[in-house]
């Protein structure tokens, strides 16, 4: 009922990782460009770093969705909790939909080599994406590097993408991971939303939930949402969702600043100094500003430069090509 109360058809702040919910702020655009660049060039390992809740998994899903399925063969390991190289190889093969059962590690490696060579013969590009890679120990990370080195006739057969919390970046200073570190050709650290991106982010979520454009958040409430969430997308979703419920329970037509403060206190969140930069005219007429934002983001999609870059993956790798601005 509280969705209808705010002119929505569904919950706009579900903690999902759907590709269509990606907001392409400045940091997200940079991260996506690096992901697509690494997948295009196939010259080494791609590393995406980011604090929890910044949207790494969502970006990975979006990048894979942008790839040409007639060209790329993806394997995604979202929780690589493995302890042996045999388990690692088995999970990689299963991710590529190669069912060979549990066999000794050398046989699994031979099966992977055969599969990758068959993909190369058909001009496919296998991509192995490992999410939450900070959970892997040094030995498993080194095994991943060795797998990514598989080649045939001088051509690398597998593109490796690692996504992890910043602690993995710190661990790369370990001399035992020097070879892995040297193989990283694209590295990017995902940041929180910028102050000017909070309003558009909320508008995108509301538009995706079928919002009718009515005003939901007062400008002062949006500033507090930014402060208490520290502009971390996941926290922003949680806080905004609870605020909708609280405002509905009080019979309010909009989420005001006091509701945000009360909800943040219950969630044990503390505010920092960040604020949301309101669009021009929001202070004079927040209702019309909000309505215009929701309409603007109703048909929102990946920026054109990134779409063209993703489309260029249909062609053979272009050595030395630049990332889109």
Boundary-marking domain end, from 192, 222, 248: 192
Selected residue with higher pLDDT from 101 and 288:
288
User: Quick one: average pLDDT of 214-219?
Assistant: 92
From the number of C-beta atoms within 10 Å of its C-beta (0-12, 13-18, 19+), residue 13 rates as buried
77 lies in the same domain as 165: yes
Q: Is residue 240 part of a domain?
A: yes
Q: Is residue 209 part of a domain?
A: yes
Residue located via tokens 């690398």:
156
Q: Is residue 309 part of a domain?
A: no
Task: Inform me whether the pLDDT recorded for 252 exceeds 90.
Answer: yes
Contact 250, 183 (CB under 8 A): no
Boundary-marking domain end, from 142, 174, 192: 192
265 lies in the same domain as 165: no
91 lies in the same domain as 181: yes
Residue located via tokens 């060039």:
41
pLDDT at 321: 42
Residue 266's domain spans which residues? 2-16+193-296
6 lies in the same domain as 68: no
Contact 67, 310 (CB under 8 A): yes
88 lies in the same domain as 119: yes
Query: What's the number of domains the chain is made of?
Result: 2
64 lies in the same domain as 145: yes
pLDDT at 68: 74
Q: Is residue 58 part of a domain?
A: yes
116 lies in the same domain as 200: no
117 lies in the same domain as 255: no
* pLDDT tens per residue across span 258-276: 999 999 999 999 999 888 9
What are the tokens at 238? 């949680």
pLDDT band at 15 (very low <50, low <70, confident <90, very high): low
Helices (H), 6-98: 26-41, 56-66, 85-95
pLDDT band at 318 (very low <50, low <70, confident <90, very high): very low
pLDDT at 325: 47
Specify the CATH number for the domain of residue 86.
3.40.50.300
Mean pLDDT estimate for the chain: 89
Within 10 A of 218 (CB to CB), how many other CB atoms are there?
20
What's the CA gap between 95 and 5, in Å, rounded? 43
* pLDDT tens per residue across span 40-90: 777 789 999 999 999 999 999 888 888 777 788 899 998 788 889 999 999
113 lies in the same domain as 137: yes
Selected residue with higher pLDDT from 244 and 101:
244
Residue located via tokens 């990514």:
148
Phi, psi dihedral angles at 77 (to 5 degrees): -110, 105
Q: Is residue 306 part of a domain?
A: no
Residue located via tokens 């309003």:
199
147 lies in the same domain as 202: no
Q: Which string of DSSP letters, residue by residue, matches 162-194? A: EEE-HHHHHHTTSGGGHHHHHTEEEEEEE-PPP
């Amino acid at each position: 009922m509280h969705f209808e109360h705010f002119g929505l058809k569904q919950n706009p702040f579900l903690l999902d990782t759907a590709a269509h919910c990606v907001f392409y702020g400045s940091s997200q655009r940079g991260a996506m460009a690096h992901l697509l660049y690494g997948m295009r060039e196939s010259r080494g390992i791609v590393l995406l770093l980011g604090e929890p809740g910044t949207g790494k998994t969502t970006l990975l899903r979006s990048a894979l969705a942008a790839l040409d399925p007639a060209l790329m063969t993806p394997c995604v390991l979202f929780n690589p909790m493995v302890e042996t190289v045999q388990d690692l190889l088995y999970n990689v093969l299963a991710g590529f939909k190669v069912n060979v059962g549990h066999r000794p590690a050398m046989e699994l490696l031979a099966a992977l080599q055969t599969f990758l060579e068959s993909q190369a013969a058909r001009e496919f590009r296998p991509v192995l994406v490992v999410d939450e890679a900070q959970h892997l120990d040094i030995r498993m990370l080194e095994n991943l590097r060795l797998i990514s080195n598989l080649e045939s006739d001088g051509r690398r057969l597998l593109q490796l993408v690692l996504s992890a919390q910043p602690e993995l970046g710190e661990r790369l200073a370990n001399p035992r991971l020097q070879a892995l570190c040297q193989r990283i050709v694209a590295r990017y650290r995902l940041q929180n939303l910028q102050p000017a991106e909070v309003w558009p982010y909320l508008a995108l979520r509301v538009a995706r939930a079928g919002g009718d454009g009515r005003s939901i958040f007062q400008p002062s409430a949006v500033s507090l949402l930014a402060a208490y969430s520290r502009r971390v997308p996941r926290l922003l979703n949680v806080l905004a969702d609870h605020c909708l419920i609280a405002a509905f329970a009080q019979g309010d037509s909009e989420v005001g600043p006091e509701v945000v403060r009360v909800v943040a206190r219950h969630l044990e969140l503390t505010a920092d100094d960040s604020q949301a930069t309101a669009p021009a005219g929001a202070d004079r007429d927040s209702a019309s500003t909000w309505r215009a934002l929701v309409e603007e983001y109703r048909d929102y999609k990946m920026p054109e430069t990134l779409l063209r870059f993703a489309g260029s993956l249909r062609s053979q790798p272009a050595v030395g090509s630049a990332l889109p601005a």
